[in-house]
Amino acid sequence: MCGIIGCVGCGDQTLTTLVHGLSKLEYRGYDSAGVALVGDDGLQVVKKAGELDSLRGELDALEGVSGTLGVGHTRWSTHGPPTDENAHPHQDCTGDVGVVHNGIIENYQSLRDELESAGHTFESDTDTEVVPHLVEEGLEDGLDAEAAFREAVSRLDGAFALACVVAGSDAVLVARNDSPLVLGIDDGATYLASDVPAFREFTDRVVYLDDGEFARLDADGWRVSDVKGETIEKSVETVEWDAEDTGKSGYDHFMLKEIHEQPRALRQCLQGRVDELGGTVTLEELGDLEPDRIHLVAAGTSYHAAVYGSQLLQADGVPAQAFFAHEYASSPPPDTDALVVGVSQSGETADTLSATRTARRHGAETLALTNTVGSTMARECDHVCYIRSGPEIGVAATKTFAGQQTALNLLTQVATPGPSDRDVIEALRELPSDTQEILDESNAETVAEELLDSDAYFFIGRALNYPVALEGALKMKEITYKHAEGFAAGELKHGPLALVTGNTPVFATVVGDGELARKTIGNVKEVEARDAPVVAVTDGVSDVKRYADHVLEVPDTHPRTAAILANVQLQLVSYYTAAKLGRSIDKPRNLAKSVTVE
């Protein structure tokens, strides 16, 4: 979704800093970009539809765009198509006010009608443009820039992160409500952004803004205040990852890099939480929480992790259910004794936040299971468990899915009465090296090449491998744009089998040689009889290889971790299929990394 960057105190590096920040926000998904700078020549705004290179080209062509403070924006269209006019920053009638915005202003139409009746003219289709015109009104009434901005914000309903600059003012003005904003604090310079990677290269000290807070960034530093202008004391936190973590480190794509980071990410997730000698799991963050039942709420890939987690919990005797966050938000089940776990990489997904907020309103205790320190969900929920995967830049979630699965294994051990399961602990201990083994030896690239011309890709699995099938298909469709579906293997002959042909490969995950494996092999035979190429993702314990055209091996381990490992093979197949098709792997069309609108 949209990204915001701003800076004060960067001197003649202001424009460079803004454009660099925008490049670091590209991963969030966008279709236009722009900057606004304030300097001796007043306010200069440059914005272009398309990739950041179009903006760079325009800045080069214009020459001399400069300033000593400014804001920048990457826009992911909601109100109006991706045109130069709809790109941010937006300005008022005088051209002295520049505003960038993430989120949605719900009452923009009535405000626009009112402003138009008062003589304001609008240049764009966006909801955002009402804000600079409202600020203009305040300035005309004699307010200073900060007071005019506050007054404007007080008129808005909806979700927003806003940053405003005004010609002649020495400050960047900021407001947050339901959309993430973080300040970066350096000696002599202050930054603001929707996400830390935008300024991580310059500082690791951050201040997370909360809903209803305003901030003023100027040459003297920064000040956070409430709606009445009263100063709010904020703590400065330190980010625990490096700027290099947001680079590609020699990989062609962030997605491939992040797939390869999984052994480290999983090690970090487990570190200090599993006592191998004592055979115990501790999640200090949860205190002595002993939930009677658990509801997991999530969207997309995180929902697949939630389905996986609910199965683990149920298997160990804790009543648990996974819900699509958007459904939970609008019609929550009545049991308020459930611990409601928001599973979200970003901790900013609007649907999932809405679900955890609904749960809180209904009196339930909430837990954020997230990757993003300081995210809205982490701050709002009663408890937080970080998955510690490190920054994930590729739009398609990879290492964070494995991190969520791993953390849900830990949560299951903690939530289940009685001692931890030593077999699970042993398998978790080996998980990082098992993952490395797959990355070192996978033949996924060959499989991708041989199946490249397929009409569609199907994924099947039972029990813990059902969410793996769903996730395998989601990854394939989002980065290759090919038709892909995940099915519960047992459902195949109840309908989906009609889709199976000689040009629709079926990826079947088969682990062990128990009843589930035998039944899935039965499904494999059914698709084989319809000439479908079969790809077995297997530990080789059963005889599924006999029926498979291709095999993707996973180490022989506990079924709970096998489901994490099988997914790594499927991630690689999707990645190489997309790479061979020349797709925009890290920024698939129409998608955004963090979906902050419902």
Task: Enumerate binding residues for ligand F6R (CB under 6 A).
Answer: 299-302, 344-346, 349, 352, 396-397, 474, 478, 594-595
Nearer to ligand F6R, 65 or 470 (CB): 470
**Closer CB to ligand F6R, residue 400 or residue 409?**
400
**CB-wise, 91 or 404, nearer to ligand F6R?**
404
Structure tokens at 371: 């990757």
Residues 169, 69: contact at Cβ < 8 Å? no
CB 533 within 8 A of CB 549: yes
| Interatomic CA distance for residues 467 and 86, integer angstroms | 39
Q: Is 519 a catalytic residue?
A: no
Which among 390, 349, 396 is positioned nearest to 368, based on CA atoms?
Answer: 349
Cβ proximity to ligand F6R: between 34 and 486 the closer is 486
Closest separation between CB of residue 401 and ligand F6R, Å?
Answer: 8
Alpha-carbon gap, residue 8 to 17, rounded angstroms: 10
SS3 253: coil
Q: Residue 159 or residue 516: which is nearer to ligand F6R going by CB?
A: 159
For residue 15, the minimal CB distance to ligand F6R (Å) is 31
Q: Report residue 558: phi and psi, to 5°.
A: -65, 140
Nearer to ligand F6R, 46 or 255 (CB): 255
Residue of 48, 257, 482, 593 marked active site? 593
Please state the closest distance from residue 463 (CB atom) to ligand F6R, in A.
22
Minimum distance, C-beta of residue 295 to ligand F6R, in the bound complex (Å): 16
Given the residues 2, 10, 381, 385, the one annotated as active site: 2
- Nearest distance, CB of residue 149 and ligand F6R, angstroms: 30
Exposure of 244 by Cβ count < 10 A (0-12 exposed, 13-18 middle, 19+ buried)? exposed
3-class SS letters over 59-89: HHHHCCCCCCEEEEEEECCCCCCCCCCCCCC
Q: What pairs with residue 508 in β-bridges?
A: 460, 536
- CA 140 to chain centroid: 41
Q: Does the annotation mark 269 as catalytic?
A: no
Q: Which is nearer to ligand F6R, 122 or 251 (CB)?
A: 251
Residue with tokens 């320190």: 373
Q: Which helix (H) or strand (E) holds 322?
A: strand 320-324
Coil/strand/helix, residue 324: strand
Least distance from ligand F6R to the Cβ atom of residue 346, Å: 3
Q: Which residues pair with 280 in a beta bridge?
A: 275
Rounded to whole angstroms, the Cα distance separating 395 from 592 reads 6
191 has which bridge partners?
Answer: 7, 184
User: What is the nearest approach in angstroms of ligand F6R to the Cβ of residue 475?
Assistant: 6
Q: CB atoms < 10 A from the CB of 152, how many? A: 27
Q: What is the Cα–Cα distance from 363 to 357, expressed in whole angstroms?
A: 10
Q: Which residues are designated catalytic? A: 2, 593
